[in-house]
Amino acid sequence: MSSILTNTSAMVALQTMKGINANLNKTQSDISTGKSVATARDNAAVWAISKVMESDANGFKGISDSLAVGSATLTVARQASESVTKLLTEMKVKIVSAQAENVDRSKIQTDVDALTAQIESVVGAAQFNGLNLVDGSHTSVNVLASLDRSASGVTSSNITVSAQNLSTDAGAALTAGGGTLSAANVVTGTPVTLNGFAFQGGGGALASDAPTANPATLTALVAGDSITLNVGTTSGKYVVQQGDTADALVAGLKSSLTENGLSDSDFTLSLASGALTVANNTNVSTAISVSATRGTGGLAGLNTIDVVNAPTSALGAIEGMLQTSIDAAAEFGSSQKRIDIQNEFVGQLTDSLKTGIGVLVDTDMEEASARLQALQVQQQLATQALSIANQQPQGLLSLFR
């Protein structure tokens, strides 16, 4: 049955054309943006996966920067250790020459003292962005190395680098200058104040007014000394650095306690005028204690080398210290190699993530080109079919002539 009111053929042709035009628009969008999944509307699941992968890829860029900084820091520490090794080797040659009887040992001692001063200068200057891995101010550092994604979430992992103490500070137990506490135990409402720290010299640890003092005989704090503050089961530790004051020390202890998980709600830490006050906000009696230990430099024996009166002992001492510096350089070299390998892996992993994202969302341009040509032909045919369908009612006029 034919009707002039309902043109079924035209409706079919029109719906076909709409579908072709929609596909054509999508294909043109894929070509212009380069992505087959540009928005969540295109494919919600694939879009969500790609965005998670993109965030990980961007995170690995930050990790790559962290590894680069870590490698640079280790480069400084390794070169300092190698320089110290070279200077100690030169010192050993002089000490060996002092074993002879017919030499001026006092002049050799002058050279040894000069080399010792140069070694101390190298160790003191071996810092990168304020971090010195050879002066005993740190025991270890963590370098951000990776992001680990699992079903439970994302965690970060680190490469731990052991610091090396190539300072000339001798070790000894501290009997004073370690700070005082107003009580051994504290309950709610009874704050404990940590104060009384004394430094060798008025200008801070290892101040200029005591540059040649023997740390083994000092009771005040010097660089490399380790201060530990225990609040209940949580411990905070800080290693004194050159130029530190009481404010810097207690701030470091406060930061360490917080990083190690001391509850802000259970214990309130306040810092003012070089004193750290710990207030217990619980009803449980909590022990609070502080202790200090002098750090021992691996080259502490340099200050006691005496080729004038004890050349044989000097030879044995320099051999041990030379091995210490060699071991330090080897340790830094090994850690730096590991960091460089990890950095290379992170770069490759980032490229792999980008490739995976491209597989998920990028447009296959060859396929899009072929599809575009096919849809353009279909569009032309649909236009022709609609034109023919629209002419069908005109044919009915011939029945009435």
Q: What is the pLDDT along the chain (401 residues), one digit of tens a residue?
A: 667 677 788 888 888 889 888 888 888 887 887 888 888 888 889 888 888 888 888 888 889 999 999 999 999 999 999 999 999 999 999 999 988 888 888 999 999 999 999 999 999 899 998 888 988 777 778 898 888 887 777 888 889 888 888 888 765 444 444 444 444 455 555 666 766 666 655 444 433 333 344 555 556 676 667 788 888 888 888 777 666 777 777 788 888 888 888 887 888 878 777 677 788 887 777 878 777 776 667 887 788 788 888 888 888 888 888 988 999 999 999 999 999 999 999 999 888 888 888 888 888 888 888 888 888 888 888 888 888 888 777 777 777 76
What is residue 304's predicted lDDT score, i.e. its pLDDT?
Answer: 79
140-150 and 131-132 beta bridge pairing: unpaired
> How far is 46 from 380, CA to CA, in rounded Å?
33
Could you give all domains of the chain from N- to C-terminal order, each with its CATH number?
Answer: 36-168+301-362 (1.20.1330.10), 172-296 (no CATH)
Contact in structure between 196 and 219 (CB atoms under 8 Å): no
d(CA 62, CA 68): 10
In the numeric block, the tokens 């905070």 are attached to 236
Q: What is the pTM of this model?
A: 0.61
**186 phi and psi angles, rounded to 5 deg:** -140, 140
Q: Please, is 380 exposed, middle or buried when counting C-beta atoms within 10 Å of its C-beta (0-12, 13-18, 19+)?
A: exposed
Nearest to 329 by CA among 163, 134, 82: 82
How high is the pLDDT of residue 293?
74
Six token digits for residue 273: 């005028």
Sheet holding 286-293, edge to edge: 185-186, 286-293, 226-231, 234-239
Long-range contact list for 180-187, CB < 8 A, 24+ apart? 180/290, 181/288, 181/289, 181/290, 183/288, 184/287, 184/288, 184/289, 185/285, 185/286, 185/287, 185/288, 186/278, 186/279, 186/280, 186/285, 186/286, 186/288, 187/280, 187/283, 187/284, 187/285, 187/286
pLDDT of residue 93: 92
pLDDT for res 177:
42
How many other β-carbons are positioned within 10 Å of the β-carbon of residue 304? 14
Cα–Cα dist 14/210, whole Å: 96
Neighbours of 281 (CB within 10 A): 12
Distance, CA of 149 to CA of 55 (rounded, Å)? 12
Give pLDDT, residue 122.
Answer: 93
In this structure, how many other beta carbons lie within 10 angstroms of the beta carbon of residue 295?
A: 23
- Please, which residues have CB within 8 angstroms of residue 216's CB and are 6 or more apart in sequence? 170, 171, 172, 294
